[in-house]
Amino acid sequence: MLKLYSFGPGANSLKPMLALYEKGSEFEQVLLNPAKFEHHSDWFKKINPRGQVPALEDRGKIITESTVICEYLEDEHPTDVKLRPGNSYDTAQMRVWTKWVDEYFCWCVSTIGWHRMVSKMVQDLTDEQFEAKLKDIPVYEQQVKWRRAREGFPQDLLDEEMRKIGYSVRRLDDHLADHEWLAGGVYSLADICNFAIANGMQHGFSELVNTSDTPHLVRWIEQINERPAVKKMFASVPHELRKDD
Amino acid sequence: MLKLYSFGPGANSLKPMLALYEKGSEFEQVLLNPAKFEHHSDWFKKINPRGQVPALEDRGKIITESTVICEYLEDEHPTDVKLRPGNSYDTAQMRVWTKWVDEYFCWCVSTIGWHRMVSKMVQDLTDEQFEAKLKDIPVYEQQVKWRRAREGFPQDLLDEEMRKIGYSVRRLDDHLADHEWLAGGVYSLADICNFAIANGMQHGFSELVNTSDTPHLVRWIEQINERPAVKKMFASVPHELRKDD
């Protein structure tokens, strides 16, 4: 059976998880606890040497990178539910949107998320404990990000990331003003991958995402939250394990 | 007929161009001159509002983003030459590599390229001329990059980009040490998209890419240069138009 390693239905982990729920595919759920740094543990680095979730196991083979996993599921495990549009042109538009999430939208939101959450996660550690944790992180840029989160991100970086978030949500809102879905007139991986980052911003970034400034984006977020597969996923899986879980 | 707008066979423009040559697909070649800022001209921004090459025109529709165009060509214009591996797992590995070029490898190489070339391209302009050019650039981050190229990139940024380039070429070399091609044992879009960035580094970055430090990478670059489609492409299309072309 398929096995999905993830942090739960948020951010990049949400993408393949929601794809699996939408497709109605059976899979084994393996939740890692980020507060316990489980993704940097030796057992998980045997699965993904980069120490990152999500990762999918399929008959002994491991597929990594959230967007790549989503396309893999469509290629290898097709069901009646199609998460790519029906023609090549619309599929290309879908890929422009999934690429944009991965290269732009997710990064600015992620920095602010780290500023708010990861910084707190590591503040109880002594310097020695923190340095020991860093040694387990295989990707150099991730080490730098953890260090910055502990020291505090520079204000000019935070300001720039907030500018990018503002630009991103306006871009989504503009497009959704006259499109029900992001690509090809159908609910697709473009929506799933953007929803993974945008969902919850109506609370966490309410100064930017709200019914006055980005009504179409809010409509789309609510519309996706009403889907049976989404409701089932959120009802079945904890959003993210905490330190004492 | 297909029409490809590009700067010629280098960097991102090379990706779909080489894919078309490998596939043996007929297409109309439209070369834009970067030294004349043709990609920021009104006529081209009607084709791609982001003012970026490459862009593909197919029966009146425009497809943008080099990697997306490559996958589109495989989806919509299949020929006997397959540029994706024959199974889903290997295709996923191919996508991990094309994603890595787009998110990591191309950016560090690009900054050093801009430092060496674009900086010279804009130094003859007066401040007024330069500011007028900037106004034509639709993507804010690109405006910032042009401004930095003119002012000079900070040395710590250049050092960090060189560190990333060193890491990147070692990563490619390690993988190519025991793999003829990057994904699935066949020449694929993974090779084409990485070659687009790596080709020429044995000259421009010879302190990092050479037969002592990265023998497998050099072998792979040379092997691709020996392919009939690659030879034909380089013989037929100028690498990049210059100011007086």
Reported ipTM: the value is 0.96
Cβ atoms < 10 Å from Cβ of A178: 7
Question: Between A64, A91, A103, which is nearest B96 by CB?
Answer: A64
Question: Between chains, do A63 and B89 touch, taking CB under 8 Å as contact?
Answer: yes
* The pair of three-digit structure tokens given for residue B199, joined into one six-digit string: 């080709």
Number of H helices, E strands in chain B: 13, 4
> pLDDT-derived band of residue A144, with 50, 70 and 90 as boundaries?
very high
Of B232, B213, B210, nearest in space to B222 by CA? B210
Closest to A196 in 3D by CA, of A54, A67, A15? A15
Sequence letter at residue B2: L
Q: State how far the Cα of A6 lies from the Cα of A65, in Å rounded to an integer.
A: 11
Rg (CA), chain B: 18
A47-70 burial, b at 16+ Cβ within 10 Å, e below that, comes to bbeebbbbbbbbeeebbbbbbbbb
Q: Are B89 and A65 a contacting pair at CB < 8 A?
A: no
Best residue in B88, B170, B189 for a mutation probing chain A (most A CBs within 10 Å): B88
Q: Residue B65's closest chain A neighbor by CA? A: A96
Q: Where are the beta strands (DSSP E) in chain A?
A: 2-6, 27-31, 55-58, 61-64
Q: Is A75 exposed, middle or buried (0-12, 13-18, 19+ CB in 10 A)?
A: middle
* Closest chain A residue to B107, measured at CA: A103
d(CA B209, CA A114): 36
Fold classification of A88-227 is Glutathione S-transferase Yfyf (Class Pi); Chain A, domain 2 (1.20.1050)
Domain layout of chain B by residue ranges: 2-76, 88-227
B201 pLDDT higher than 80: yes
Distance CA B47, CA B55 (A): 8
CB < 8 Å & 24+ apart, contacts of A235-239: A237/A8, A237/A9, A237/A17, A237/A29, A237/A31, A238/A8, A238/A31, A239/A8, A239/A9, A239/A10
Residue B48, CA distances (Å) to A63, B64, B90 in order:
33, 7, 32
Nearest CA in chain A to B160: A141
Kindly report, residue by residue over A76-120, the tens digit of the pLDDT.
999 999 999 999 999 999 999 999 999 999 999 999 999 998 888
Taking residues A195-209, what's their average pLDDT? 97
Q: Which residue of A has its CA nearest to B95?
A: A68
B95 vs A65: CB contact, 8 Å cut-off? yes
Task: Please give the model's pTM, rounded to 2 decimal places.
Answer: 0.97
Q: Is A167 on the interface with B (CB under 8 A)?
A: yes
pLDDT cut 70: percent of chain A above it: 100
Sheet architecture: strand order including A27-31:
A27-31, A2-6, A55-58, A61-64
| Phi and psi based region of residue A59 (left: phi greater than 0; alpha: psi -120 to 50; beta: remaining) | left
Of B61, B67, B96, the CB nearest to A89: B61
Cβ of A67 and B99 within 8 Å? yes
B63 touches chain A (CB under 8 A): yes
- The average pLDDT across B106-122 equals 91
Helices and strands (H, E) in chain A, number of each type? 13, 4
DSSP β-ladder status, B2-6 and A61-64: unpaired
Closest C-alpha among B64, B70, B73 to residue B98: B70
The pLDDT, as a whole number, for residue B117 is 87
Give CA–CA dist A135/A119, Å, rounded. 18
Q: How far, in Å, CA of B171 to CA of B97, rounded?
A: 11
Torsion angle (degrees, nearest 10) of CA A99, A100, A106, A108: 140
CA distances from A216 to A205, B120, B171 (A): 16, 44, 43
- The domain B2-76 having CATH identifier 3.90.180.10: the answer here is no
pLDDT in tens, A205-240: 999 999 999 999 999 999 999 999 999 999 999 888
Q: How far apart are CA B155 and CA B148, in angstroms?
A: 12
